[in-house]
């Protein structure tokens, strides 16, 4: 059996927020954070971005908060808005996002834990959390924070891998162990589990 290397992925469900942040920063510095490993990754990301932009448009005049924006998130796809703030736990990701998109008028990026959103109640017209909730230790708290900072009548857009996707159901039927889409996903949910979170 091959020996495990020192570069083995940590179990994010057992790490503190500070440890997750340090690991993410290391990965961003090395260029190994959230890189596409297959054509499917690129196709899926492109489709998610297209569908999300169709859902939130038009964004004119809207104050937008994006949780877990990574190195830019939705910033490349939004041209007109009242203001956009992208947040991420990684210092390195925010540094890169700021370099690439921080000069867009009204766009800014700050380091922030999605479980502790440091904005007053009812601040944003739109909160975006694309492929984020599966990364946070407390999904319910993250959603509570997102709704807290949302203005009355505002919108929240959330995407997340489905733990009951066809390939995972087939995997289970064949008797194989469940797996997540990424090693740093703490918990992936089914559609029904996400629905229950809102109750």
Together in a domain, 153 and 170: no
Whether 110 is in a domain gets the answer: yes
Domain count, the chain: 2
Rounded to whole angstroms, the Cα distance separating 75 from 38 reads: 24
Rounded to whole angstroms, the Cα distance separating 184 from 155 reads: 27
The CATH number linked to 97 is 3.40.50.150
> Which residue range forms the structural domain that includes residue 86?
57-160
Together in a domain, 156 and 174: no
- DSSP 3-state assignment of 7? coil
Beta bridge partners, 139, equal: none
Whether 45 is in a domain gets the answer: no
pLDDT tens-digit profile of 160-177? 988 777 777 777 788 888
CB 64 within 8 A of CB 81: yes
Question: Averaged over 149-165, what is the pLDDT?
Answer: 91
Whether 13 is in a domain gets the answer: no
- Residue 8's pLDDT band (boundaries 50, 70, 90)? low
Question: Averaged over 142-153, what is the pLDDT?
Answer: 97
Phi, psi of 151 (to 5 degrees): -70, 155
Would you state the pLDDT for residue 196? 83
Question: How many residues appear in the chain?
Answer: 199
Rounded to whole angstroms, the Cα distance separating 199 from 187 reads: 19
Together in a domain, 67 and 146: yes
Whether 40 is in a domain gets the answer: no
pLDDT of residue 3 exceeding 80, the answer is no
CB 133 within 8 A of CB 139: yes
Token representation of residue 123: 């601040």
pLDDT tens-digit profile of 9-64? 788 989 999 999 999 999 999 988 887 677 777 888 899 999 999 999 999 999 99
Together in a domain, 153 and 64: yes
Together in a domain, 69 and 142: yes
pLDDT tens-digit profile of 53-93? 999 999 999 999 999 999 999 999 999 999 999 999 999 99
CB-based contacts of 121: which residues, under 8 Å, 6+ apart? 148, 149
Together in a domain, 64 and 141: yes
């Amino acid at each position: 059996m091959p020996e495990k290397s020192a570069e083995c992925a940590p179990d994010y469900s057992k790490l503190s927020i500070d440890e997750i942040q340090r690991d993410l920063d290391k990965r961003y510095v090395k260029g190994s954070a959230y890189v596409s490993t297959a054509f499917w990754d690129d196709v899926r990301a492109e489709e998610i971005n297209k569908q999300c932009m169709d859902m939130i448009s038009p964004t004119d005049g809207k104050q937008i908060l994006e949780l877990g924006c990574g190195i830019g998130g939705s910033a490349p796809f939004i041209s007109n808005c009242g203001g956009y703030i992208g947040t991420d736990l990684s210092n390195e990701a925010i540094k890169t996002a700021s370099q690439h998109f921080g000069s867009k008028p009204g766009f800014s990026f700050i380091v922030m834990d999605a479980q502790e959103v440091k904005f007053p109640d009812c601040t944003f017209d739109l909160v975006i959390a694309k492929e984020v909730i599966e990364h946070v230790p407390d999904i319910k708290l993250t959603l509570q924070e997102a709704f807290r900072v949302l203005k009355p009548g505002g919108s929240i857009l959330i995407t997340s891998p489905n733990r009951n996707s066809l390939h995972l159901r087939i995997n289970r039927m064949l008797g194989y162990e469940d797996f997540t889409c990424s090693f740093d996903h703490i918990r992936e949910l089914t559609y029904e589990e996400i629905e229950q979170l809102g109750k």
